[in-house]
Amino acid sequence: MICVGNAFRGDDGAGLEVAKLLRGALPDGVELLEREGEPTGLIDAFEGAEALWLVDAVSSGGAPGGTVHRLDAGEQELPAGLFRASTHAFGVAEAVELARALGRLPPRTIVYGIEGARFDAGEELSPETAAAVPEVAEAVRTEVEVCTSKQ
């Protein structure tokens, strides 16, 4: 489980807020990592995982503020445009697709994107994005529990 974000860029901190809610709430043996989105660090973190959940803020050009996107990257390529406003130099979608090309993407890879409203300097999430954080945390926690109970 990797939550990506920048706590000093408004809604880009949404993934890190999800991580705060998941600390101590995931099954034993599930590792929770927080990253700023550096691609080689992300790809290295995928190493050895049988299943992976990634959470990041996105800006698809759609209605901003709190829309949740769930994508199964094990089944299809991620649309790079969904993550285009990332404050990371090389976005999550590109890191996932590079890992796929290198044969390093876990077979089960689920990506949650929380549509952000603002990505300017500041630590506070917009109210709409903040409201989506618990929804995503609960969805991820439930999926991880189901996945790990089958092993």
pLDDT tens-digit map of 92-126: 888 899 999 999 999 999 999 999 999 999 999 99
pLDDT over 70 at 84, yes or no: no
Query: Of residues 66 and 124, which shows the higher confidence score?
Result: 124
Q: How much is the pTM?
A: 0.91
Tell me the C-alpha to C-alpha distance, in Å, between residue 128 and each of 48, 77, 108, 117, 138. 35, 27, 29, 8, 17
Please report the pLDDT score of residue 83 as a whole number. Answer: 65
**pLDDT tens-place string over residues 132-142:** 999 999 999 99
Residue 143 is encoded by which pair of tokens? Answer: 């999926």
**Stretch 141-145: mean pLDDT:** 97
Under the banding of pLDDT at 50, 70 and 90, the label for residue 48 is: confident
The rounded distance, in Å, linking the Cα atoms of 125 and 127 is 6
Task: Write down the pLDDT at residue 85.
Answer: 47
Beta pairing, strands 108-115 & 68-72: antiparallel
Task: Write out the two tokens for 125.
Answer: 């999430």
Return d(Cα 100, Cα 24) in angstroms, integer: 30
Continuous segment of H or E residues that includes residue 52:
strand 51-58
What does residue 35 show for φ and ψ, rounded to 5 degrees?
A: -135, 155
For the chain, which domains are there? 2-149 (3.40.50.1450)
* Contact between residue 120 and residue 64 where contact means Cβ atoms under 8 Å apart: no
Is the distance from CB of 131 to CB of 119 less than 8 angstroms?
Answer: no
Confidence of residue 6 (pLDDT cuts 50, 70, 90): very high
Residue 19 in this model has a pLDDT that exceeds 90:
yes
Q: What is the mean pLDDT of the chain?
A: 89
Q: Give the model's pLDDT for residue 121.
A: 93
Cα 132 to Cα 145: distance, rounded to the nearest angstrom? 20
